[in-house]
Structure 1
Amino acid sequence: MKISLPFIVALLTCTMFTNTSIMAQAIYEDERYVPETDPLVLEKLEKWQDLKFGLLMHWGPYSQWGIVESWSICPEEYGWCERKKGSNPDNYFAYKKEYENLRKTFNPVKFDPDKWAKAAKNAGMKYVVFTTKHHDGFSMFDTKYTDYKITDAQTPFSTHPKSNITKEIFTSFRNQDLWAGAYFSKPDWHMPAYWDPYYPPRDRNVNYEPESNPQKWQEYVDFTHNQILELLTDYGKVDILWLDGGWVAKKPNSAISSWYDRQLKNNETGYLKYRNINQDIKMDELVQKARVKQPGLIVVDRAVHGKNQNYLTPENRVPEKPLPYPWESCIIAGGGWSYAFNAKYMSGREAIHTLADIVAKGGNLLLNIAPSPEGEWDAGAYQLLNEIGTWMDVNGEGIYGTRAMAPYKFDNICVTSKPDGTIYLIYLVKEGQRTLPSEITFPDYKGSKNVKAKLLETNNRLKCSASEDVLTIKIPENLKEKLLKTNAFTIQLK
């Protein structure tokens, strides 16, 4: 999760669109977004763009150490690859063995996915993406293709009635009417056909040359296909297949290569090993088989340009401008992607402002919350979601089912719109703000001069007047004190 090439999208300079089309061609570095052609997928993508708010969860045995997921067993020179836990972090092979033995003590007996699902629904979330397997290769589902999994006898939680964690999570969240999304890592640093034990691992990539060892590589391709198809066969309806590890691809495209070159200029040498290696896992074939199992499945082959990246995923940041294709920012709610002891969570204000900013630019927010080793969420996570949910109960109509509309954002006001012409102005109240203006001036207003304004917070009608492409909305003095106590308030124009 730590390396996500779609960060590049935040640097785009491009012409934005204001309609609901998901077919727009766009420059992504020097590559083009490839629009989907499957009508079922197009229909589902349009629905997904209406959802706006989802939950991401990184969870595995690594939570016991409170460390970054997977990356400490990757022999690269990056901060997130540092080995800080274990009895012998200076000995790579001893450390990796101890890391992998964390499964023998992983026993999250307080696991209660129904509680998580209810909290997510109350917060206004509409879909979940769960890490069924991260780069370390530990499967959080009852796979038939490896013993390195949550249901293996060596893992104490295997005797628990809810040991098949992925199935339990998907079931609980679907019961709350949320979509189910499966995060799945294409690289697997435990599987011998990816990191062959004959060779030491050299970096994040396969540690042998696939083209010189086609039989071994085919074993890995089959393993990957089998696990993914297993998830899409035995775990009910799956709406999103969210694939990570963009370096596992047929060949590095020019955007990826140029990104690598930038790392070289910044002395980030770890990325340069094997950058041109061909790690073709036959994605076109896999996606075709996947959609036989799950018609209309949205596939997100992150950081791999082409038709199998149905939407893009800027990571832990919000693009400066709207993007002319479906996209989603995945953002850490507190601590890190994986569980961190004594994590500090973002405030409700920060989360609400982030959501409004993303939605105004046409995207979705995927907010990450990491469960503890015992299978719980921190109290701070529940508090955050409760605050978001309270706000969404009043202002959600300005979030769900909307699309980007120029000017997108002006001053501290986000703009969203619906196909029926309704416009929403979401005023972001700053921390410590003491006053509100007596009127809001909406520039470049193109709507009806007979428009009516309503404050969703109180259901009050607001006086407004339109002239020469400017709409002026009055804020009554008797409402200002109440509005200043909110994180944000929404004005409906209809």
Structure 2
Amino acid sequence: MKKSSLRFVLTFLLTLPFLTDAQEEKQKYFPETDPLVLEKLEQWQDIKFGLLMHWGTYSQWGIVESWSICAEDEPWCTRPHDNYELYKQEYENLQTTFNPVNFDPSKWAEAAKRAGMKYMVFTTKHHDGFTMFDSKFTDYKITDPKTPFHTNPKANITKEIFDAFRTEDFMIGAYFSKPDWHSPYYWWKNFATPDRNVNYNVNTYPDRWEKFKDFTHGQVNELMSDYGKVDILWFDGGWVQPYTNEEILAYKVKKDFKQVNLQNQDIDMPRLVEEVRAKQPGTIVVDRAVEGPYQNYITPENRIPEHMIPYPWESPMIAGGSWSWIKKPTYISTRKAVHMLLDIVSKGGNLLLNIAPSPLGEFDEGAYELLEGIGQWMDVNSEAIYETRPIAPYKEGKVALTQNRHTKVVYAAYLPEDNENQPPAKIWLSTIQPEKGTKVTMLGSKVNLKWEAVGNGFEVIIPESLRKNPPASDAWVLKIEKVKH
């Protein structure tokens, strides 16, 4: 290897855009130019709060979605016995017992709307390749005769879910896995499957890879043609992307065991997105963790960035202990969910909260209780969430700030500790100050609060009557009609 090539590789390792445990927000953002997409992104940024649902045959075992059939040795995809081929066969046979007879997506949509959610993303296909819609390109699907649920009037699950949520005026998002571990054009039975990647040499068998590209484009175009308006196309499996020879070499130098078979996996995203938007103009495309023009917003997974991000982003977060359904799930508290929402929105993001349906097609009671609790808080405070944008310093101590993008009204949300059950006597901010004579209230109350300037900030007095009987629990929001600039 030439010294210049080695220097490039070592430099590249320090700036890997993927597989550094997903510091997506550090990637370069490529602004969209399509006016219809920009309009939809603005709408999406206004609504702030969405529902993500991971659901498939794997829910019958109460295990992590798909990953247990991947041969990588990771703690989240361990198998109960040591015969991989037998396990994979048993996993794929889950198709023959998947029968979610209590499936009622209207109930899910109503509960999500009650919580204040306004968009949704559903797993139409995860990495295992089991298709939750009626695809003509595979028999490994919910509508195949091998699947007991295929005789149910609601058998085309994706269609039923999209229709139910669209009835409640949700923006509709389709999760779609780019890798497909069931497709013979991705995992060819002629070879072993050492990791998550395509298991044959794409350069040696280019015709087979072309068939996988056609298969992928075919399924995506089905979703864009037969399932009504789709606002968001949410791709997962970011290792399926074009790689340069230098990038592949860099991973080999790094000896990342997750990528032992890394190679160029180009599915022609430019053509695919062109096909999508020909059918569905303005569709937001999220090619997750792939730096480039087809990642219209960034998705830091199951974590909240420390700082404000100046371009569109969303945090997909787990509500019940796992992305997929598990036995005896423990759901986060309403307080934690509300604080999560405020923290994310104050930094300019959206919260996509994951709730996983059960094998019978139901939400757990704990999920409904969580959604109801969030909804009660949103009944009082939603104006501090919707149609807002970040305002510096975004957060100060226990206070998260937002600002309505039209009226410029500022909201200061006090996030109490677990042992705080009422607002404090005073709330102080050092970095923003109302204009003289500005009215300050607490959302849910008509009481004008006394405030005074302190340095460059101000202090608000919360009267005893309001402290003892606050209009909401879990977080209290001050509404400041006008601030100095």
> Same-fold call, TM > 0.5?
yes
2:23 is aligned with what amino acid? V
1:110 to 99, 102, 111: 102
1:242 to 226, 234, 240: 234
Q: Contact between 1:240 and 1:299, CA under 8 Å: does it hold in 2?
A: yes
Separation (CA, whole Å) in 1 of partners of 2:236 and 2:54: 12
2:459 aligned partner: 472
Question: What do residues 25-69 of structure 1 show as CA deviations (whole Å, max 9, x unaligned)?
Answer: xxx2xx521111111101111111011000000000100000000
Tell me the TM-score normalised to structure 1 length.
0.90
Separation (CA, whole Å) in 2 of partners of 1:260 and 1:434: 54
Q: Percent same amino acid at aligned positions?
A: 56
Separation (CA, whole Å) in 2 of partners of 1:258 and 1:344: 41
2:28 aligned partner: 32
1:417 is the counterpart of 2:403: yes
1:202 is the counterpart of 2:194: yes
Q: Contact between 2:380 and 2:471, CA under 8 Å: does it hold in 1?
A: no
1:65 is the counterpart of 2:79: no
Separation (CA, whole Å) in 1 of partners of 2:373 and 2:387: 21
Separation (CA, whole Å) in 1 of partners of 2:395 and 2:348: 11
1:306 aligned partner: 292
Q: Secondary structure, in 3 states, of the residue corresponding to 2:286? A: strand
Separation (CA, whole Å) in 1 of partners of 2:296 and 2:235: 11
Across the aligned residues of Structure 1 and Structure 2, the Cα RMSD in angstroms comes to: 2.0
CA drift of 1:259 comes to 8.7
1:385 to 371, 380, 398: 371
Q: Contact between 1:179 and 1:239, CA under 8 Å: does it hold in 2?
A: yes
1:19 aligned partner: none
1:135 is aligned with what amino acid? H
1:319 is the counterpart of 2:333: no
Q: Secondary structure, in 3 states, of the residue corresponding to 1:407? A: coil
Q: Secondary structure, in 3 states, of the residue corresponding to 1:55? A: strand
Q: Contact between 1:6 and 1:315, CA under 8 Å: does it hold in 2?
A: no
Separation (CA, whole Å) in 1 of partners of 2:389 and 2:298: 16
Separation (CA, whole Å) in 1 of partners of 2:421 and 2:318: 29
Change (3 A) 1:370 1:284: same
Separation (CA, whole Å) in 2 of partners of 1:484 and 1:233: 46
Greater CA deviation, 253-262 or 355-364?
253-262
Separation (CA, whole Å) in 1 of partners of 2:397 and 2:323: 31
Separation (CA, whole Å) in 1 of partners of 2:125 and 2:137: 13
Q: Contact between 1:429 and 1:484, CA under 8 Å: does it hold in 2?
A: no
Q: Contact between 1:433 and 1:484, CA under 8 Å: does it hold in 2?
A: no
Separation (CA, whole Å) in 2 of partners of 1:91 and 1:372: 27
Separation (CA, whole Å) in 2 of partners of 1:53 and 1:400: 9
Aligned 1:145-184 pairs, distance under 5 A: 145-184=137-176
1:457 to 444, 449, 460: 444
Separation (CA, whole Å) in 2 of partners of 1:7 and 1:200: 26
1:347 to 314, 320, 333: 333
2:5 aligned partner: none
Q: Contact between 1:7 and 1:314, CA under 8 Å: does it hold in 2?
A: no
2:271 to 265, 276, 285: 285
Change (3 A) 1:82 1:392: same
1:144 aligned partner: 136
Separation (CA, whole Å) in 2 of partners of 1:365 and 1:291: 25
Aligned residues: 463
2:121 is aligned with what amino acid? V
Q: Secondary structure, in 3 states, of the residue corresponding to 1:352? A: helix
Uncovered stretches (5+) of structure 2, i.e. residues with no partner: 1-17
2:353 aligned partner: 367
Separation (CA, whole Å) in 1 of partners of 2:127 and 2:317: 19
Q: Contact between 1:436 and 1:484, CA under 8 Å: does it hold in 2?
A: no
Separation (CA, whole Å) in 2 of partners of 1:467 and 1:260: 58
Tell me the TM-score normalised to structure 2 length.
0.92
1:81 is the counterpart of 2:77: yes
Separation (CA, whole Å) in 2 of partners of 1:7 and 1:247: 12
Change (3 A) 1:434 1:178: closer
CA drift of 1:467 comes to 5.4
Change (3 A) 1:242 1:254: farther
Separation (CA, whole Å) in 2 of partners of 1:451 and 1:421: 13
1:25 aligned partner: none
Separation (CA, whole Å) in 2 of partners of 1:257 and 1:246: 18
Separation (CA, whole Å) in 1 of partners of 2:164 and 2:300: 28
Q: Contact between 1:126 and 1:179, CA under 8 Å: does it hold in 2?
A: yes
1:330 aligned partner: 316
1:42 to 38, 41, 45: 38
Separation (CA, whole Å) in 2 of partners of 1:294 and 1:7: 32
Separation (CA, whole Å) in 1 of partners of 2:248 and 2:443: 45
Separation (CA, whole Å) in 1 of partners of 2:423 and 2:66: 47
